[in-house]
Amino acid sequence: MKIGFHLNIEQIQKLVMTPELKQAIQILQFNTQELSQFIDEQLLTNPLIDIASPQEAETTKNTSKEEIDWKEYFREYDDISYKQSNYNKDKEEVSIEQFVFSDTTLTEHLMFQLQFSILKKRHYSIGKFIIESLDRNGYLTTPLREIAEVFHESEETVENVLAVIQSFDPFGIAARDLKECLLIQMKQLGVENERIFEVVTHHLDDIANNRLAIIAKDLNISTTEAQEIADFIKTLEPKPGRVYSSNDDVKYITPDVTVEKVDGEYVVIVNDSSAPRLLINQFYRSMLMHEEKDSSTSKFITDKLNSAMWLVKSIEQRRQTIYKVVKAIVDYQIEFFEGGKKWLKPLTLKQIADEVGVHESTVSRAVNGKYMQSPRGVFELKFFFSSGVSNQEGDGLASESIKSMIQEMIDKENPKKPLSDQLIADLLQNKGINISRRTVAKYRDEMNIQASSKRKRF
């Protein structure tokens, strides 16, 4: 065996994750809001990038950076902006946020009532503390003992202040648990039926599990009367605080793509109106044209220009990829757009990847966190990718399609004899859909539908 140093020449292929490639992958994953935020960050780090006004230059041709003479490039082209689809400089963008007014929060609503209460001035701060301690559902989770220690008062005093706040609107506010919340509401509503108070005090678990026979036996009443009591209790508000919300609770979805039906055909439009058009800063443009190629300034500006060009290219590539992926989804799920959820078909990332000619991971990044606005409503792109089962004809049915059928069966069932999971499975099999009872139970849970024993009415 001979040990020594040797030089060998070999040719291999490997994927190198350059910073530019990482950036392109990252941009593809961004939704509309994230892309706009990313561009804002780039404007801060790259001095060569400026935001174009609507009337400024249009998209340049895709020229590789190896073929570009930058000074000649600037003489020929005005900027490196990319063109927004259907952009109208005379059209003002209008968003729903411009019309949202400031909602009154729960704390503000209660504080307004507190200033008109019968509390003594020295107890006002206790009431304010209690109000500010309520959670978003309107419940008091801080023990009275701790509040009493903070203000060096007795628990009885704090209890009296709490009783005043519990008389405020909305009914049931500042309760310490669900039972107290419901009892407060019934007293404020003037309920006089003692049996209802008895059920709330001792049988809330039975109400939740629809065990009306136990309630009827314990109170010596009929199951019909127990059903009426349960129906009334369910009309009460278990979370009185949620009636009031702040603007922070409001979440808006900005669709990344829009699908419209035009002359019988579905057209895909990528929403890139929120991303600003980019161009080269005039000052640095002039500087580069008058600098020597070998100077440090020229090298710095050239490096930043390369970065800006790659950014524009990545954004355009993102738009093209999303368009192709969504177009393939629409073509495959055309029956859904025509007929609704019942016609949704099973779809995998691989099917779309093969159709578009990209890797599955690219499709995954293109649909991740993005939404589509369509004539059927707004859907997350992931909605169209679901597993399913086969019917007797061998055609695939998506899980969402089966859920739609289950929902329709339950909506039409006899409430006194609700359909069991097994019976639903049997009915689906009669339609040629092979599905097990456990799968029906799984889909029912995902739709937040209770079991038949809890749906039964007496």
Q: Spell out the SS3 assignment of 386-414.
A: CCEEEECCCCEEEHHHHHHHHHHHHHHCE
> Looking only at Cα atoms, what is the longest distance across the chain?
102
Confidence at residue 91, expressed as pLDDT on a 0 to 100 scale: 45
Confidence at residue 196, expressed as pLDDT on a 0 to 100 scale: 94
Reported as a single tens digit per residue, the pLDDT across 281-306 is 778 777 777 777 777 877 888 888 88
pLDDT at position 167 over 60: yes
Angle between helices 19-29 and 32-45 (to 10 degrees): 140
Confidence at residue 390, expressed as pLDDT on a 0 to 100 scale: 58
- pTM above 0.75? no
Range list of β-strands (E), 69-139: none
- Measure CA 249 to chain center: 12
Q: By C-alpha distance, which of 427, 435, 392 is closest to 409?
A: 427
SS3 177: coil
Reported as a single tens digit per residue, the pLDDT across 425-450 is 898 888 888 888 898 998 899 888 98
Residue the block writes with tokens 């009275």: 144
Most confident of 64-78, 93-107, 144-158, 379-393: 144-158
pLDDT at position 138 over 80: yes
SS3 385: coil
Separation of alpha carbons 137 and 319, rounded Å: 42
pLDDT at position 255 over 50: yes
Reported as a single tens digit per residue, the pLDDT across 307-365 is 888 888 888 888 899 999 999 999 999 998 998 888 888 888 999 999 999 889 999 99
155 pLDDT band (50/70/90 cuts)?
very high
pLDDT at position 199 over 50: yes
Confidence at residue 9, expressed as pLDDT on a 0 to 100 scale: 83
Separation of alpha carbons 88 and 49, rounded Å: 22
pLDDT at position 82 over 70: no
Q: By C-alpha distance, which of 364, 360, 361, 342 is closest to 351?
A: 360
SS3 442: helix
Mean pLDDT of the region 20-43: 83
Percent residues over pLDDT 90 in the chain: 38
Mean pLDDT of the region 254-271: 89
pLDDT at position 85 over 60: no
327 and 266 in contact (C-beta within 8 Å)? no
What mean pLDDT is reported for the chain?
Answer: 82
Bigger pLDDT: 195 or 55? 195
Region class of 94: left (phi > 0), else alpha (psi between -120 and 50), else beta: beta
CA torsion, ordered 246, 247, 250, 253, to nearest 10 deg:
180
Structure token pair of residue 191? 């309920």
Residue the block writes with tokens 């689809």: 85
Bigger pLDDT: 6 or 376? 376
Q: By C-alpha distance, which of 418, 431, 355, 451 is closest to 391?
A: 431
- Contacts for 296-301: CB closer than 8 Å, 24+ residues apart: 301/48
Structure token pair of residue 53? 């006004």
Confidence at residue 81, expressed as pLDDT on a 0 to 100 scale: 41
Mean pLDDT of the region 417-421: 91
Reported as a single tens digit per residue, the pLDDT across 358-408 is 889 999 999 988 999 999 999 999 989 877 665 555 456 778 888 888 998
For 37, 256, 277, 365, the CA distances from 40, given in Å and listed in that order, are: 5, 18, 12, 21
CB atoms near residue 398 (< 10 Å): 24
Q: Where do runs of H (alpha helix) occur along 269-393? A: 282-290, 296-332, 334-339, 349-356, 360-367
Confidence at residue 56, expressed as pLDDT on a 0 to 100 scale: 54
Separation of alpha carbons 1 and 17, rounded Å: 38
175: which DSSP letter?
B
Bigger pLDDT: 138 or 15? 138
Confidence at residue 395, expressed as pLDDT on a 0 to 100 scale: 57
